[in-house]
Amino acid sequence: MAAAVAMRGGSSDSGGFDKVPGMDSGKYVRYTPEQVEVLERLYIDCPKPSSSRRQQLLRECPILANIEPKQIKVWFQNRRCRDKQRKESSRLQAVNRKLTAMNKLLMEENERLQKQVSQLVHENAHMRQQLQNTSLANDTSCESNVTTPPNPIRDASNPSGLLSIAEETFTEFLSKATGTAIDWVQMPGMKPGPDSVGIVAISHGCRGVAARACGLVNLEPTKVIEILKDRPSWFRDCRSLEVFTMFPAGNGGTIELVYMQVCERSLSGSGGGPNAASAQQFVRAEMLPSGYLVRPCEGGGSIVHIVDHLDLEAWSVPEVLRPLYESSRVVAQKMTTVALRHLRQIAQETSGEVVYALGRQPAVLRTFSQRLSRGFNDAISGFNDDGWSLIGGDGIEDVVVACNSTKKIRNNGNAGITFGAPGGIICAKASMLLQSVPPAVLVRFLREHRSEWADYNIDAYLASSLKASACSLPGLRPMRFSGGQMIMPLAHTVENEEILEVVRLEGQSLTHDEALLSRDIHLLQLCTGIDEKSVGSSFQLVFAPIDEHFPDDAPLISSGFRVIPLDMKTDGVSSGRTLDLASSLDVGSAAPQASGDASPESCNLRSVLTIAFQFPYEMHLQDSVATMARQYVRSVVSAVQRVSMAISPSQSGLNAGQRMLSGFPEAATLARWVCQSYHYHLGVELLNQSDEAGEALLKMLWHHPDAILCCSFKEKPMFTFANKAGLDMLETSLVALQDLTLDKIFDESGRKALFSDISKLMEQGYVYLPSGVCMSGMGRHVSFDQAVAWKVLGEDSNVHCLAFCFVNWSFV
């Protein structure tokens, strides 16, 4: 029987004692082991029961009958507290283990640096000695010719020759990984810490380009080696990997002779097309001693050292692309850190820390990402041995069009991947050099505002290729894009470097017979480098049409965009820059700059944009599809050029904002009218410092915490201006703001409330709207506590637009 007794001391971990509020200090309630067992079972099912649930427990469990409800409440409170303490203790122990291992790594790095300093001191003393002996060497008339006998030729085709090469390679690799064979410097922007990918360094003054990384991974060494050896699974640019020879070594290891192709190219007219000879399509690079050193870590996991050292023969590529082949930082971003991040991703998935949407297994989602990326790489490269051949152009070499009749894309149940009728894939590609365009900002804009560059009929044509019916040219069933797109995340990497998502495009039929049919289109989309902290070497948006319930083996036809920076700067334009008037709010109009304190050097950032779209075709429609593909890519190029001009730091700022507000007063004047009209109608000030004017007033309005929107005073009101909070709420930018209309952001109840108060708004000049829910430009629900609408009057007292202020908004 349970009894309340006076006890002194703390509560036990088993939950046998709990102090009850209201009793004397130091008095506890004692529970029998049977009662604790019952409560523990109940806690597993419901850690936080309501009052009615606790009453029910007392009625259903006779063993708890003599315990008061208040005592039960206290027991659950204390049990939750202990559970929280255990979790926090486990977390702190894990952090402590990571810090201990990281400290060991840093001590090893410090020891290596001390050796490097000693070596440099020795070399410096030797050079001084040589300089002192220079005069004596110049006075002698004796000449000497010292020759070094060549190394004996080793036959790599036999085990003994390979063993000799392997031993030398291993020794040199160790001297790079843990010694001073290369002068390593810390990679800018990669600071070591318990949550960082690791300690990353790049070479300075050595032959070729090299990168080194060491980090902690919560995987056993054998698992780490297994993952790293499967290079195509994590290195997307690895086109092929073939093991020619493999035999055991004397120390229990294995020696392998491997051939690997790493491919990525940009286009420059038909000269870069797939009709070139196979030997001319590759830049032969030399991989110098590189590899992975994996050691077990105390407490579990592994310490991984990675070295990538290559001579990419930069002299053999066009001059504009040479920075990519001469940068050790690019090697670190494309190869070295990618390997570490992949290991961390696998470790988190294995431990169950990552839970993905739609119940998909992590390995399946990784496979989707790999297939999208590899399909896009294949389309860009267009190599002859993959089946690509060039299609004659129309005399203008701005777009390269190639076809591949060996690719089949349709999945017809058990019949496998086939294509209904003879045909294949046509790929239209183009590239351009971007100046002063932040890559992450451009890719994020293309992702969030598809209607700015895409043609819904083309999307519908690509989606129809997944169905059993034969492909037909777009236009046979006229459609239009409603402007709505819903982005549903599927998975992301540890540091959000890469995001996999499903995009739903809302279509509307223009014919009455198809009005009841669903015309939504679904895309599987891979985004890379759009996070504001991204430090990758490329930024891309790759997508492919899918069925709404796409299976794990769904066929994918990849298309999209890839931006590769040519100038790898440490202080480039912040990728988090908003596409709006932000750049004009921190500086004068005489010197507009991008927000994020963009330096003059960052405004000269150069990058290469590659665009590739793939179109399935049937043989009798090849010429028509090729013409359509060429024209479509040209229209996309034109749209991207317009967007690039709008988001370029040299083009942004107040003047750019004024151009966007064509037909309306300049931004500073509009801000003054908005604030004056608010005071005129409501009798209170919108801003705290109402005496400000000009750009100072605009800056205050821009940074106002509530979302402020302006829309045209027309039959179909269109948004024309928004402050930063307003753009964040709508998830849009000033470039695409005019695509949104007032009726699109309100749900049905919100539209009814607004339209019912229109007469009141026109009569008294303002109206308060109750709390409710509206929609962002990305289709997400946004709740707000209150909204106020008022007429904005100009100097002539005429109504120029309507203004809205949404108070305390948040995403639902």
Q: What is the pLDDT of residue 76?
A: 87
Same domain, 96 and 223: no
Q: What is the pLDDT of residue 574?
A: 39
Neighbouring residues of 508: CB distance < 8 A, sequence distance ≥ 6? 479, 480, 481, 482, 519
Q: What is the pLDDT of residue 141?
A: 40
Residue 419 has pLDDT above 50, yes or no: no
Task: Find the mean pLDDT for residues 454-463.
Answer: 86
CATH of the domain at 792: 3.30.450.20
Q: What is the pLDDT of residue 600?
A: 41
Residue 265 has pLDDT above 80, yes or no: no
Residue 620 has pLDDT above 80, yes or no: yes
Please calculate the CA angle 289-300-370 and round it to the nearest 5 degrees. Answer: 55
Same domain, 64 and 174: no
Same domain, 261 and 163: yes
Q: Is residue 363 part of a domain?
A: no
Model confidence at 610, pLDDT cuts 50, 70, 90, reads: very high
Same domain, 380 and 322: no
Same domain, 337 and 379: no
CATH of the domain at 54: 1.10.10.60
Q: What is the pLDDT of residue 485?
A: 77
Model confidence at 799, pLDDT cuts 50, 70, 90, reads: confident
Report the distance separating Cα 365 and Cα 659, nearest Å.
43
Same domain, 459 and 330: no
Q: What is the pLDDT of residue 140?
A: 43
Q: What is the pLDDT of residue 223?
A: 92
Same domain, 296 and 225: yes
Q: What is the pLDDT of residue 489?
A: 83
Q: Is residue 582 part of a domain?
A: no
pLDDT tens per residue across span 338-362: 899 899 889 888 877 766 666 677 8
DSSP bridge partners of 521? 505
CATH of the domain at 345: 3.30.530.20
Same domain, 114 and 189: no
* Residue with the larger pLDDT of the pair 592 and 754: 754
Q: Is residue 100 part of a domain?
A: yes
Same domain, 404 and 438: yes
As for how many domains the chain has, the answer is: 4
* Residue with the larger pLDDT of the pair 755 and 176: 176
pLDDT tens per residue across span 144-168: 333 333 444 455 556 677 778 888 8
Say what the alpha-carbon torsion angle 90, 93, 97, 99 is, to the nearest 10 degrees: 120
* Residue with the larger pLDDT of the pair 15 and 740: 740
DSSP bridge partners of 416? none
Q: What is the pLDDT of residue 579?
A: 38
Span of 57-66, 618-627, 675-684, 793-802 with lowest mean pLDDT: 57-66
How many CB atoms within 10 Å of residue 524?
A: 23
pLDDT tens per residue across span 272-302: 333 334 445 566 678 899 999 998 887 788 8
Same domain, 678 and 742: yes
Residue 644 has pLDDT above 60, yes or no: yes
Q: Is residue 549 part of a domain?
A: yes
Same domain, 51 and 179: no
Q: What is the DSSP string of 604-657?
A: G-EEEEEEEEEEEEEGGGHHHHHHHHHHHHHHHHHHHHHHHHHH-TTT-SHHHH
R_g of the chain, CA atoms, integer Å: 33
Q: What is the pLDDT of residue 227?
A: 92
Q: What is the pLDDT of residue 544?
A: 93
How many CB atoms within 10 Å of residue 701?
A: 23
Span of 2-6, 43-47, 564-568, 648-652 with lowest mean pLDDT: 2-6
Task: Find the mean pLDDT for residues 799-810.
Answer: 89
Span of 145-159, 352-366, 428-442, 511-525 with lowest mean pLDDT: 145-159
Report the distance separating Cα 234 and Cα 251, nearest Å.
29
Q: What is the mean pLDDT of the chain?
A: 75
Q: What is the pLDDT of residue 7?
A: 33
Q: Is residue 592 part of a domain?
A: no
Q: Is residue 684 part of a domain?
A: yes
Same domain, 381 and 490: yes
Q: Is residue 271 part of a domain?
A: no
Span of 82-91, 199-208, 377-386, 648-657 with lowest mean pLDDT: 648-657
Quickly list H helices, 382-453. Answer: 439-448
3-state SS assignment for residue 246: strand
**pTM of structure:** 0.63
Q: State which residues form the domain around 101.
A: 31-126
Q: Is residue 476 part of a domain?
A: no
Q: What is the pLDDT of residue 147?
A: 37
How many helices and strands in the chain, by DSSP H and E? 21, 30
Residue where one domain finishes, among candidates 593, 624, 647? 647
pLDDT tens per residue across span 464-505: 877 654 455 544 444 444 556 788 888 888 777 888 999 888
Most confident range (mean pLDDT) of 266-280, 681-695, 765-779 is: 765-779
Q: What is the pLDDT of residue 670?
A: 86
pLDDT tens per residue across span 208-260: 899 999 888 889 999 999 999 888 888 888 888 888 778 777 777 788 888 88
Q: What is the pLDDT of residue 356?
A: 66
Alpha carbon distances (Å) from 670 to 3, 657, 674, 736: 75, 12, 6, 19
